[in-house]
Chains A and B, each alone.
Chain A
């Protein structure tokens, strides 16, 4: 496949299977400035899918860096009126976002506390509300670029990164659209089985890890196939290999160690180790980047409680690619992960439970690996193995 054809097919998959853009919808494309090639293909495919208008708003991390480094304090959390309107206008429309950080350590030399505070709060609130209402059919996809490739391979080999990404996205299949449908079905079956088990808690054991996290009775284990309140099916993350739920944020005890590096706000977090008591993170250690996490936990209310648990096994295409992508969208699908911050209100049967965490951020970090054991603890005290040696145990 020629590179140009691959780009268009990839964009088509994101538009048709991912966001599932409907005839007459407006489409919002929010890429980084280094993702222009993919952004343009997404715009073309969105119009071909019948979009009535495609809005494109490029983000630029260098602009953000200048704001954090040189701007006044009042600029850090500011959401301009036009950006609120832009975000509001996404309701009942489609959103395509791109990932693939072109310069992951760009903000590394800045004050971690200022970086942590630089969150446009009102914009985040609108997006959280749209998540809650399920009013946007959206999809996030990776956009290979030179900086990202350098991060992954030590050299700007964009073509090699494209091949890895295309593999994770099943573009090598004769019919990628049906391959995706089968894949999504398999994940849904897995999620339904675990939901049916109604565990009271999950237990994680592994190197430097012994954590028990309470679960909520009404919590569902979902996969990335979603439906908007208007009835549009969409796949929020591509690739996706996980089943996930929101835990009881009041019940987490023990310690857990991240197993992959995490890129966050332009900084690299390595060897993150969290200690939890009564649901709250009471200890943060890391080989690198601990200040940024402490900055977030210190300033964003309830960021110090858990919002998501996700299980991934060795069938994962991302895992099989044997590539560390340094990008959450991919790496969280390589292996099991946990998120601190906002819970997922749609991960429940009916209304979200009060144990569902409410916070203005959501940060995933990877905890899986061959040595991690995950068990479901049932109300009667029995333990049911879920994952051993990265293989799914529940039938």
Chain B
């Protein structure tokens, strides 16, 4: 048995989802992720899972749906799939990423690709996120196609080494290393929450953006508690501190600094211009149609849902690798998401400024030239990130 694979799966099960004895575990993996899916299943049973449900997703099936299926199939959510998602409530979920063919849908009609979202399924997951009723984790599953995307050749072993580095599997005690790391991010959050900034300002090449912040919305990092008190780490790796902004107060232009694989296409050089919180202009070297379709068909997708700060201590950043995978790349550098805000960040009643949408898409904006400042209510400017280093003591 591949020891690294089992240790990796164990970390995802015990630190990530933190599977509790007697819980059912829902595993969602691409067919190309089967080696990891099998190891996760073994580790979940070892952790005491009552049952492990494994649902393999196949992008070629999705391609056939979009290319050959009738219109009404695009957004269809079968009853059994709804029950599958509903059954996750109070249980554990593990999702895997690492697209084996990121450009599989590239030659299809971007508008149809954009519409092919089973909304009812997404709504269930969104509700579970806002209730915080599922302890879950997303982890990467190295495979040939992903490795080819990253290195230009199907060197899966090299990708595994990069992934293992980002996951701190090289540490003698990865579990303890993760606990230290999570504590460091937590301290950063506390600093930001005490600062109580009114807005963030981003400046850099092609970028001059101001994003309003909400008073009762917290900054958070890697670990979260479910409503039942199970502590989990939703993303592994995680290097970010993040919050949801005031969706009504975004002004200016921001340019993405890394390619974004999205629904089988790759969006490159994305540039968004905002006025009064809404994206009013979308430009990109590739993939602009897909983003425009999101904004046109999904209510409030054109407003921001998340801002996240990452600095160069990041293992993902230090790996010197563009992974072409949001789970990893968003932890390499600062990022922003359009679409749904994160209701679990709100203290007390939900704020009107928190965006509500059936979608959440992260894109990367960080880099050596990006400067991020906190603007306080009294007009003071506090530098947060310079040259990818954290400035707030």
Contacts and interface: CB of A to CB of B under 8 A. Distances in A.
B195 interface: no
A78 interface: yes
Contact of B68 (A44, A55, A56, A82): A44
B51 A85 contact: no
Nearest to B74: A53
Q: Which of the listed residues B31, B78, B80 has the most CB atoms from chain A within 10 Å of its own CB?
A: B80
Interface in A268-306: none
Interface residues of B, number: 35
Given A33-B31, A52-B70, A62-B38, A89 B78 contact: yes
Contact of A40 (B45, B61, B76, B81): B61
A43 interface: yes
Contact of A53 (B37, B49, B56, B69): B69
A105 interface: no
Interface string B348-369: 0000000000000000000000
A72 interface: yes
B167 to A, nearest CB: 22
B127 interface: no
Contact of B34 (A60, A82, A85): A60
Given A52-B70, A89-B78, A78 B31 contact: no
A51 B69 CA distance: 7
A107 B366 CA distance: 50
Contacts of B58: 36, 39-40, 56, 58
A231 B193 CA distance: 67
**Chain B contact surface mostly:** helix
A174 interface: no
A86 interface: yes
Contacts of B37: 60, 63
B23 to A, nearest CB: 12
B183 interface: no
Contacts of B68: 44, 47-48
A81 interface: yes
A80 B42 contact: no
B249 to A, nearest CB: 42
B87 A70 contact: no
Contacts of A58: 31, 56, 58
A317 B380 CA distance: 85
A89 B79 contact: yes
B227 interface: no
A63 B54 contact: yes
B56 A89 contact: no
A71 interface: yes
Interface in A73-116: 74-75, 78, 80-83, 85-86, 89
B60 A40 contact: yes
Contact of A67 (B34, B45, B56, B69): B45
A80 B78 CA distance: 16
B244 interface: no
Contacts of B51: 67, 71, 75, 78, 80
B370 to A, nearest CB: 41
Contact of A54 (B50, B54, B64): B64
A83 B87 CA distance: 11
A89 B38 contact: no
Contact of B61 (A54, A60, A72): A54
Contacts of A33: 31, 34, 56
Nearest to A58: B56
A6 B78 CA distance: 31
A190 B376 CA distance: 89
A153 interface: no
A40 B60 CA distance: 6
A47 B68 CA distance: 6
B55 A60 contact: no
A32 B389 CA distance: 49
Nearest to B21: A72
Contact of B42 (A40, A52, A60, A66): A66
A70 B46 contact: yes
Contacts of B60: 36, 40, 43
Contact of A85 (B54, B69, B83): B83
Given A53-B78, A62-B34, A66-B45, A40 B53 contact: no
Nearest to A76: B51
Contacts of A72: 50
Interface string B66-102: 0111101100101111011001000000000000000
B351 to A, nearest CB: 35
A69 B55 CA distance: 20
Contacts of A47: 64-65, 67-69
B150 interface: no
B18 interface: no
Contacts of A74: 50
A47 B81 CA distance: 20
Given A52-B69, A60-B54, A80-B51, 6 more contacts: A43-B61, A54-B64, A55-B78, A58-B31, A63-B41, A66-B41
Interface of A: 33, 36, 39-40, 43-44, 47-48, 51-58, 60, 62-63, 66-67, 69-72, 74-75, 78, 80-83, 85-86, 89
5 contacts: A40-B61, A52-B73, A53-B76, A63-B54, A83-B80
List of 8 A-B pairs having minimum Cβ-Cβ separation, nearest first: A70-B45, A47-B68, A85-B80, A58-B56, A86-B80, A82-B84, A82-B83, A62-B38
